[in-house]
Amino acid sequence: MDVVLVDAGGTNIGSVRYALQRLGVDAALTSDAAAIRGADKVILPGVGAAGPGMARLRELGLVDVLRSLEQPVLGVCLGMQLLCARSEEGDTECLGLIPAPVRRFTEAPGLRVPHMGWNRLSVQRPHPLLAGLGDDDQAYFVHSYAVPVGDWTLATADYGGAFSAVIAHGNFHGMQFHPERSAAVGARLLKNFLEL
């Protein structure tokens, strides 16, 4: 299986690559359009802010490449947000592949932003990406912006209200948490993506 990691400058690329190696997949890190188009699976990792993330994809000439993909694509953390329509972070137009907005968490007493740490995943509808996910399974999050619950939502987490933890629209999928830091649950979800 040919899996590529889009080299969009995210600081979590090494840890995502290592998590895939533990599953027996050596994913190439690339910004080459032909390699991305030709891959069986494409993963868009990312850590940081939406504006610089989109600027990097534009600079690499990858916006139209990513929009044209027909194979399974997975966005991780910021990568998931970049798959969406628009982010409140810097009022950034994103890739528009999942028709969802990205909004900042509202700070409240006892509710710090960013949301950091382990949080329970709640399955909203069955999907092969979530195979084997149990009611008490948790994932590790670090983010200040989130996708609200909508038609795209496969699983939610709660932080001052429900938000989308796993999303999908057609062949595009996203995980707001870090599967590479989410122990056995993260490994299972990455394996599920590889098997789509």
Active site residue 84: no
Active site residue 94: no
Please state, in angstroms and rounded to a whole number, the distance separating the CA atoms of residues 15 and 179.
Answer: 10
Name the percent of the chain in helix, strand, coil, to the closest 5.
30, 35, 40
Residues 16/76, Cβ–Cβ less than 8 Å: yes
Q: Using CA atoms in the order 172, 179, 56, 194, what is the torsion angle rounded to 10 degrees?
A: -40
Active site residue 178: yes
Please state, in angstroms and rounded to a whole number, the distance separating the CA atoms of residues 193 and 196.
Answer: 5
Catalytic one among 70, 77, 84, 173?
Answer: 77
Residues 178/12, Cβ–Cβ less than 8 Å: yes
Which two structure tokens, joined as six digits, stand for 92? 């950034």
Catalytic one among 115, 143, 173, 178?
Answer: 178
Query: Which of 1, 6, 129 is closest to 69 using CA atoms?
Result: 6
Which two structure tokens, joined as six digits, stand for 77? 């953390």
Please state, in angstroms and rounded to a whole number, the distance separating the CA atoms of residues 87 and 103.
Answer: 6
Hey, which residues are catalytic here?
Answer: 77, 178, 180
